[in-house]
Amino acid sequence: MTASTTPRFFSSTGPLKYVGPEGRDPFAFHWYDKDRVVLGKRMEDHLRFAVAYWHSFTWPGGDPFGGETFLRPWMHGTDEMALARAKADVAFELFEILDVPFFAFHDRDIAPEGRTLAESNANVRAIAEIFAKKMETSKTRLLWGTANLFSNRRFMSGAATNPDPDVFAYSAAQVKNVLEVTHELGGENYVLWGGREGYETLLNTDLKRELDQMGRFLNMVVEHKHKIGFKGTILIEPKPQEPTKHQYDFDVSTVYGLLCRAGLEKEVKLNIEANHATLAGHSFEHEIAMAAALGVFGSIDMNKGDAQSGWDTDQFPTNVEDTALAMYEILRAGGYTTGGTNFDAKVRRQSIEADDLVIAHASAMDVCARALLIAADMIEDGALQKAVDARYAGWDAPQNKAMLTGESSLEAIAARVEAQSLDPQPRSGRQERLEALVGTYLR
């Protein structure tokens, strides 16, 4: 199989069209109208959709109890680089059908691992050259690249946090190559995903040493970013528990603490995934809002988990209300800069037809578009924000502002409470009223 002889994989041809909410055609957009202006910006520019290379073209459909079900033609053969080139053809075919502005990849997604790191890196660069050529005639650009520092058995005890310094060095060299490739392809971000940056038991772990290693690793990445002139954003993706029992990048707050410890809170932002948020015991909108509050919101991986499963099922989003609440927080945060809506999602292992992949993305894009419109309505109406402003209005009084600015001491505050005989009484948070209000936007 070679790039020149690979037939079209999908039955669809050309970009899917927007046809409006009416109708049932799965090969069309019913809410995603890319040129529609929402809050002064085109819908495509708000959402900045990206296709994830790994789930869409690399995952074979296996699970812990069974092997592959997809049997994609580029997954079987003896010439691995020829298969990688064929996979690139299929990837850009899907990008064209969906008319997406971005895609994202790990190095091991796009090219096979060689006998040495030098060979592996050369394989990645060979496929990157194909990407660059295809991007000359495609609208699709690179949202972000990243290195796979978790699949190979050498990473079983982590990459940056590994007790073996040779693994640390190998990881650094691998990241250097992918960061440079991302830069050369015009990528807008580079993601660090610490899937195995954690530990299983304290009996064999030096926590301080591993945190120091992780901090130095992150600093080296940032230093090299500036050295090569990469103008994109360095992102970290929080991930709880799975696969490592105790993850150093558990959630937004944990990662922010790591960044502060490493002195990088002004240099690195976060890529937040819906399914990771729920696995951490949070909601997706909570993690987005927390990142925005801490000044580190960057991008998102859009998907959902299964409420009845305790692992990362990475399903395409189908719940409009949940997605709208997430979009509302993104809009409140000012929207994306270099970030985007990356579909870190996979079709179910029984969905073995090629077109299932097209329909899954198109449907998810519609869910996000509909959610964006709802979120924009919330922003424009302003009732939710007014309720929040009213709840904290007391802090606008000069004497209350003084408590936060340092102008009023603990002693002075205590004296005022006694002098004014303050006896504050609780006020309703009006949660049900606000939840009912959200329901009106969903009609």
**Cα–Cα distance between 291 and 408 in angstroms, integer?**
30
109 tagged catalytic: yes
Helix axes of 80-98 and 354-381: crossing angle, nearest 10 degrees: 40
CA distances from 60 to 75, 350, 387 (A): 8, 11, 48
SS3 62: coil
Residue 197 known to bind ligand: no
Report whether 223 belongs to an annotated binding site: no
344 is in an annotated binding site: yes
237 is in an annotated binding site: yes
Q: Is 312 annotated as a binding residue?
A: yes
Q: What is the CA radius of gyration of the chain?
A: 24
Q: How many whole angstroms from its chain centre is CA 145?
A: 12
Local structure of 202: helix, strand or coil: helix
Instruction: With CA atoms as reference, report the closest residue to 347 among 399, 303, 297.
Output: 303
Q: How far is CA 400 from CA 395, 407, 408, in A?
A: 5, 10, 9
Q: How far apart are CA 341 and CA 272, in angstroms?
A: 10
Gap between the Cα atoms of 49 and 335, Å rounded? 13
Distance in angstroms (rounded) separating the CA atoms of residues 270 and 337: 12
106 is catalytic: yes
Task: Single out the catalytic residue among 30, 46, 55, 106.
Answer: 106
Q: E strands of 128-206, at which residues?
A: 141-146, 189-192, 198-199
Say which of 33, 107, 109, 249 is annotated catalytic.
109
Residues identified as active-site? 106, 109
Binding-site positions read: 237, 273, 276, 301, 312, 314, 344
Binding-site positions for Mg(2+) read: 237, 273, 276, 301, 312, 314, 344
